Amino acid sequence: MMPAPKNPGPRGTLRHDEPMARHTSWRAGGPARTFYEPADIADLSAFLRALPAGEPVFWLGLGSNLLVRDGGLQATVIATAAMLKRIERDAPDLVRAEAGVPCAKVARFCARNGLRGAEFLAGIPGTVGGALAMNAGAFGGETWACVAAVETVDRHGEVRVRPPGDFRVAYRSVAGPPGEWFLAAHLRLTPGAGRAGSARIRELLARRSATQPTGQASCGSVFRNPPGDHAARLIEAAGLKGTCIGAACVSTKHANFIVNTGGARAADIEALIRLVADTVARTQGVRLEPEVRIVGEPVPGATPLQEGERP
């Protein structure tokens, strides 16, 4: 009798104690216990099925809109940006983009293919998966306004296609079936003049470069805009532009950005987030809510925000 074939194991890239500072746009953060880059969706499904039932899983795109504390993540990080990056036109008005595709690439692809409505994605510094998870937006557009369907995967590796009606979508908030993660988006767009779309993207990127610190390490916008106002206006009115804790500073170009000017710790960034929120609440009477996700373990002596806690 022939012996049973051995499990070949994951086909992707598996690392341990991987510094998250290498994978976040703030260039800060401690190590992930396990870090996995899947080869493709089939490999990802097999990897999820093989994980111990109690192992925490954390999904990572480009690492924007994310602060990993200096103590790191006691979890398995699944990084989609390196592998889940297919993008294709499925129909005259449909584009399928996997979770690891940068939003700016989706915008350019749609414009080249004569599709309108995705130009705003050029202003989102993250991937499709992250944009789906938080209903990311820029320049007046929001991700889920274009979504015709999504593909998800659960802890058992089962892949599903779901309509938008299976999710509760709000400003920078998305809730859906528990225990499922986004694999791809099917975007419904309007056929139109690709040249006009490309010109619009160039215009939006020029505006972004003129008003945001695009050449510095940041997470994008730190705080959500409160109803009827802008977080940046409130922060500037509180006199906080240029305020620093360590090498973490409120941008002098756009007050809703915190930049790592070189060597900032995650604890410095988190402390500055708390300082900004407290100062704006005291001087402007508005409690700002973070848009950035803060995860991981603090180092001894740090005073972290609890996940979901207002600073």
Identify the active-site residue in 221, 251, 265, 274: 221
Task: Tell me the C-alpha to C-alpha distance, in Å, between residue 38 and each of 26, 78, 146, 300, 302.
Answer: 24, 7, 27, 33, 34
**DSSP letter string over 45-67?**
HHHHHHS-TT--EEEESSSTTEE
pLDDT tens digits for 229-264? 999 999 999 999 999 999 999 999 999 999 999 999
Average pLDDT, the chain: 91
Q: How far apart are CA 192 and CA 215, in angstroms?
A: 32
pLDDT reported for residue 311 = 43
pLDDT tens digits for 23-38? 999 999 999 999 999 9
pLDDT reported for residue 310 = 43
Which residues lie across from 150 on neighbouring strands? 162, 185
Task: Tell whether the model's pLDDT for residue 3 goes beyond 50.
Answer: no
In the chain the domains, ranked by start, together with CATH numbers, are 13-79 (3.30.43.10), 87-211 (3.30.465.10), 231-295 (3.90.78.10)
Concerning whether 291 is annotated as a catalytic residue, the answer is yes
Q: How far apart are CA 311 and CA 29, in angstroms?
A: 19
Task: Tell whether the model's pLDDT for residue 301 goes beyond 90.
Answer: no
Task: Tell whether the model's pLDDT for residue 307 goes beyond 50.
Answer: no
Phi, psi dihedrals of residue 21, rounded to the nearest 5°:
-60, -25
Identify the active-site residue in 119, 151, 270, 291: 291
Concerning whether 172 is annotated as a catalytic residue, the answer is yes
Residue 38: half-sphere exposure toward Cβ, Cα within 13 Å: 24
Sign of CA dihedral 234, 292, 138, 211: positive
Task: Tell whether the model's pLDDT for residue 298 goes beyond 80.
Answer: yes
pLDDT tens digits for 62-94? 998 899 999 999 999 999 988 899 999 999 999
Element (H, E) at 16: strand 13-19
Q: How far apart are CA 249 and CA 226, in angstroms?
A: 22
Concerning whether 221 is annotated as a catalytic residue, the answer is yes
Identify the active-site residue in 11, 33, 172, 287: 172
* Contact of 70 with 246, CB cutoff 8 Å: no
pLDDT tens digits for 149-208? 999 999 999 999 999 999 999 998 999 999 999 999 999 999 986 678 888 888 888 888
